[in-house]
Amino acid sequence: MINVAIDGPAGAGKSTIARTAAKNLGYIYVDTGALYRAVGVYSLRHGFDTKNADTVAATLPDIQVELKFLGDIQHVFLNGEDVSEEIRTPDASMAASDVSAVPAVRQFLFDLQRDIAKQNNCIMDGRDIGTVVLPDAQVKIFLTASPEARAQRRYKELQEKGASDTYEAVLADLKQRDYNDSHRAVAPLKPAEDSVLVDTTALNLEKSVEKVISVIRNKMTD
């Protein structure tokens, strides 16, 4: 199986770029961040403190998270309910950042991610795919962009959904999440030593996808 690991900070366009590249290459796309978001949504729904590791860990026996591919679109199910839309809210983003720092949560989702990779040619994106989840992936990419560019993209997405968040608030949340993700004790966000850096600050979606596919093809022919 061919596995491609794409890591990078929030708002770098990982999901859209990885999903489009996977479709073009005929691979399965796996958005691991969606799994953490689902765990975060469960805690939010039940009023649990997402920063309390013991509380979050205690909820895991009551959670079942599944990825189902309907056509070529990944859907996320939480205890049998499709939560693909709910997990994309700003609150879900921050909750995901909190719960992803809990070792028990990472272990809870670890086997699911690896099993998918073993069974499919896939592009998997997240925060620690190349460093922890798929350290033997044939291709590793660290996808990034400036905080301002990432915040502007996220702000535009939220506006299109009718959200009232300001650009300044989105940028502040993104910088906080960057700090959380890069400073957590377990599997902090960082490039794998053998990853290829792709900066999309000055690239549109089409050019970003072309760049990622080019890296994948070049790596596979090395």
Question: Are the C-beta atoms of 128 and 6 separated by less than 8 Å?
Answer: no
pTM summary value:
0.80
Closest C-alpha among 52, 3, 47 to residue 29 = 3
Helix, strand or coil for residue 186? coil
Angle at 31 between CA 104 and CA 201, to 5 degrees: 115
Higher pLDDT, 178 or 74: 178
The percent of residues above 90 in pLDDT, for the chain, comes to 73
Judge whether residue 212 has pLDDT over 90: yes
Q: Average pLDDT of the chain?
A: 92
pLDDT score for 174 = 92
Query: Which helix H or strand E contains 197, and what residues bound it?
Result: strand 196-199
Closest CA to 47 of 87, 91, 77: 91
Cα–Cα distance measured from residue 128 to residue 181, given in angstroms and rounded to the nearest whole number: 10
User: Residue 150 has what pLDDT?
Assistant: 95
Is the per-residue pLDDT at 1 higher than 90? no
| pLDDT interval class at 60 (50, 70, 90) | very high
Phi and psi, residue 126, nearest 5°: 175, -145
Residue 222 pLDDT: 73
3-state secondary structure at position 167: helix
